[in-house]
Amino acid sequence: MLAFAAQYPDDVAGMVLVHATAPAPAAANQQTASRSAGSYNLMGRISALASTSARLGLGRLYGNTAFGSLPPRPGDEVRASLATADNLRSAIDEFVQGNASAEEAGALTGFADKPLIVLTAGIGSRADHITAQNQLATLSTNSAHRTIDKADHQALIADEQGAATTTQAILDVVSSVRSSQPLGK
């Protein structure tokens, strides 16, 4: 999302970042590039193997790990979506491409006064991650950083309360864009 917003700023009116990976500083990218280059081949092979295995049912096992407190219908939809081979491949690719993605995200150095909400899971977030999330919120002068104390990363979409909080953040940004009013904190 950050890379898209940097490349197409006129096409992005506002943004909600849900427990996002912060952009990597340029110096860190140079240091990690040589380390990650060798691991890409191995991870690429693992990704291909896992994706192939998912077609044989591994995805269903992965999808069944998505427990949450969503009502039955949306919960079943989330589990069905997570159980696909494409989703498993996407999750692995996200991990494999993490360093490159963080570098691309660094292209966004400012978001002017467009509405931006950064949501952070309170459970499992290290202090340096919270600091990075605070830094993301400074991309816009019209922003809010909301830490969801009783949610972990997955609960922000797979738990009824977390999903409601995420949905409210999206509605808040849409409302701010439509009304041209600043976000409420």
Domains of the chain by residue range: 1-23+109-185, 25-105
Kindly tell me if the per-residue pLDDT of 40 is higher than 50: no
d(CA 55, CA 48): 11
Model confidence, pTM: 0.72
Q: The tokens of 161 are what?
A: 């309360």
Q: Who wins on pLDDT, 36 or 173?
A: 173
Cα-based angle 139, 18, 133 (whole degrees, multiple of 5): 45
Residue 31 confidence (pLDDT):
45
**Residue 140 Cα distances to 107, 110, 112, 115, 177, angstroms:** 14, 6, 5, 7, 13
Lowest mean pLDDT among 51-55, 85-89, 120-124, 172-176: 51-55
Residue 75 confidence (pLDDT):
72
**Mean pLDDT over residues 49-75, rounded?**
58
d(CA 181, CA 32): 41
**Mean pLDDT over residues 37-65, rounded?**
51
Q: Who wins on pLDDT, 95 or 157?
A: 157
Kindly tell me if the per-residue pLDDT of 142 is higher than 80: yes
Residue whose entry in the numeric block shows the structure tokens 């999903």:
163
Q: What is the DSSP string of 36-58?
A: HHHHHHHHHHHHHHHHHHIIIII
Compute the half-sphere exposure of residue 166: CA atoms within 13 Å on the CB side of its CA.
19
**Residue 150 Cα distances to 124, 157, 178, angstroms:** 10, 13, 31
**Mean pLDDT over residues 41-59, rounded?**
53
Q: Who wins on pLDDT, 17 or 34?
A: 17
